[in-house]
Amino acid sequence: MHVRPKKSLGQHFLTDGNIARKIVSAIPAEPKTLLEIGPGTGMLTKIILESNIFEPVFIETDLESVEFLSANFPGIEEKIMHGDFLRIDLKSFIPDHYQIVGNLPYNISSQIFFRMLEDRDRLHSAVVMIQKEVAERISSGPGNKTYGILSVLLQTWFDIDYLFTVSEKVFHPQPKVKSAVIKLSRNRVMDIGCDPVFYFKLVKTAFNQRRKTLRNALKPLLSEKDTSAITDVLSKRAEQLSIQEFISLAKYLENQKSTIVN
C-alpha cells in the first residue's frame, strides 16, 4: 500500500529519518499529551511511537494516509482522528494540556498558527516544520521587513526558537521552497492587561497598511479618542513597534474607550 501525494493537501512527505529524529528530540518531555498534525505516511509518527515518551494522538485529513497508518502502526486507530485540524473541536478531542508536533501542510500553516493562538492556554509548546520564509517571519523582531501580524501575536504568548533549516531534497515530492523547524514555547504571560480580541484587531489593523504611520493605519480605531499622550507612537509604523509597545498601545486605547462611554 502506498499514499499518492496530493498537492491540494500540502503533502510533502519527509523521507529522512535523521531529520525526523531531530524534530522529535526537540519536543519537551512534558506534558505527555502530544498531538501530531498531519502524520501522513508516518515518518515522525514512527519515531514518536518508538520513543515511548509521549501519549500521542493524531489528526489527519487524508483518508488514504489514515488507512496507510492504520495498516502500518498497530493500535493507532484509537488515537487517530480522520479530520481537519482547523475545524475539529480541540477541547473534546484533547481534554488536557498538550504539545503539538508536525511537518505542517504549508498552504495552511498561518491558519494553524491562529488556531494555536486561540488554544494558547492549553498548548505548552509546538515543534513544527514550515516553509523557511514563514519561520523567519515568525521569529523576526521589530525593525525587520518580515516582522508582521503572526510575529507579534505569536511572540506575545510564545518564545520562538528557530531550530534549523531543512533542504527541499529530503521530501517526496520535493517542495519548491526551503523548510525550517521552529519551536514555540508558551511564555508566562497569562493576562496582557487588555481584551485579547481588541489586541488581535489592533495588530491586524496596524499591519494591514504597514507602510503608513500608525496614526493613518489605525484611523478606524482612533476616532473620538484623545491621542495626545501617544503622538510619538502614532508617528511610527507597525513594523517599528515591539511587543511591549503594542500591548501598551492596546491598553491605552482600550482605557480611552471606556472613558468616553462612561
Which residues of the chain form contacts with ligand SAH (CB under 6 A)? 9-14, 37-41, 43-44, 59-62, 65, 84-86, 102-103, 105, 108
Nearer to ligand SAH, 63 or 197 (CB): 63
Nearer to ligand SAH, 60 or 239 (CB): 60
CB of 146 to ligand SAH, least distance (A): 24
Check whether the bond before 173 is cis (ω within 30° of 0): yes
Q: Cell numbers at residue 90, please?
A: 480541540
CB of 187 to ligand SAH, least distance (A): 26
Q: Which residue is nearest to ligand SAH (CB)?
A: 38
Helical spans, DSSP H, in 212-242: 214-217, 219-222, 231-234
- The rounded distance, in Å, linking the Cα atoms of 228 and 234 is 10
Nearer to ligand SAH, 131 or 155 (CB): 131
| Residue 36 phi, psi dihedral angles, 5° rounding | -95, 125
- The rounded distance, in Å, linking the Cα atoms of 37 and 105 is 9
Q: How many CA atoms lie within 13 A of 9 on its CB side?
A: 21
Nearer to ligand SAH, 41 or 156 (CB): 41
CB of 44 to ligand SAH, least distance (A): 5
Q: Cell numbers at residue 150, please?
A: 503572526
Q: Cell numbers at residue 212, please?
A: 503608513
- The rounded distance, in Å, linking the Cα atoms of 181 and 165 is 6
Give SS3 for 153. helix
Nearer to ligand SAH, 9 or 192 (CB): 9
Nearer to ligand SAH, 10 or 148 (CB): 10
Whose cell is 486561540? That residue is 118
Residue 43's closest CA among 122, 140, 129? Answer: 129
CB of 184 to ligand SAH, least distance (A): 17
